[in-house]
Amino acid sequence: MAQAAQTTHATTEAHGGAHEDVGFPPFKTETFAGQVIWLTITFVLLYTLISKLVLPRLSGIIENRRVTIAGDLDEAAAMKSRAEEAGAAYEKALAEAKGRAQSLAQDARAKAATETDAKRKTLEADLAKRLADFEATIAQKKTAAMSNVRGIAHETATAIVERLTGKAPAPQTVEAALDQSKA
């Protein structure tokens, strides 16, 4: 290893002398004035480039974006206003439709009630007429049946007496007995 260090030292002397401590160039005071000048030139060039080219473009983009956003907000407000108007118109139309539907339903109920009432009265009149006809028929049949009852009672009484006694009673006697049972 000692030989490697001697070789390195010999190479350094061959290039022009002893090994010199270089350091970080920006911190060297000998080159400080030149560095400040180049810094100033670079700063002025970058400042000019940014202020003349970049900033106008950037401010144009920002202004364009601001105008676009404002336009979009105005359009959104207009759409919101139209949507609210459409909603109000819908609510109004819905209320009118409900009112018309209720009116139609009431008219239909009233018409149905009138028709039903008329049909009911017609049916009641028809039923009353049929009932009267049936009652008249029943009364006629009852009268006819009652008129036959006296004849049947006369024949039955005569047959019973004849069977019990063996001889037929006089018709006046049977009639008198039937008249007594009625009273």
pLDDT value of residue 13: 52
- In this predicted structure, the answer to whether residue 12 has a pLDDT above a threshold of 70 is no
The one-letter amino acid code at 74 reads: D
Q: What average pLDDT is seen over the chain? A: 85
Q: What is the pLDDT of residue 154?
A: 79
Sorted by where each begins, the domain ranges of the chain are: 33-182
**Considering the entire predicted model, what is its pTM?**
0.38
> pLDDT class for 160, splitting at 50, 70, 90?
confident
Cα-Cα end-to-end distance for the chain = 172
Mean per-residue pLDDT, 122-127: 92
Q: What is the 3-state secondary structure (H, E, C) of 3-72?
A: HHHHHHHHHHHHCCCCCCCCCCHHHCHHHHHHHHHHHHHHHHHHHHHHHHHHHHHHHHHHHHHHHHHHHH
pLDDT category at 47 given cuts 50, 70, 90 is very high
State the Cα–Cα distance between residues 136 and 130, nearest whole angstrom.
10
State whether residue 169 is helix, strand or coil. coil
* Dihedral angle sign, alpha carbons of residues 23, 24, 25, 27: negative
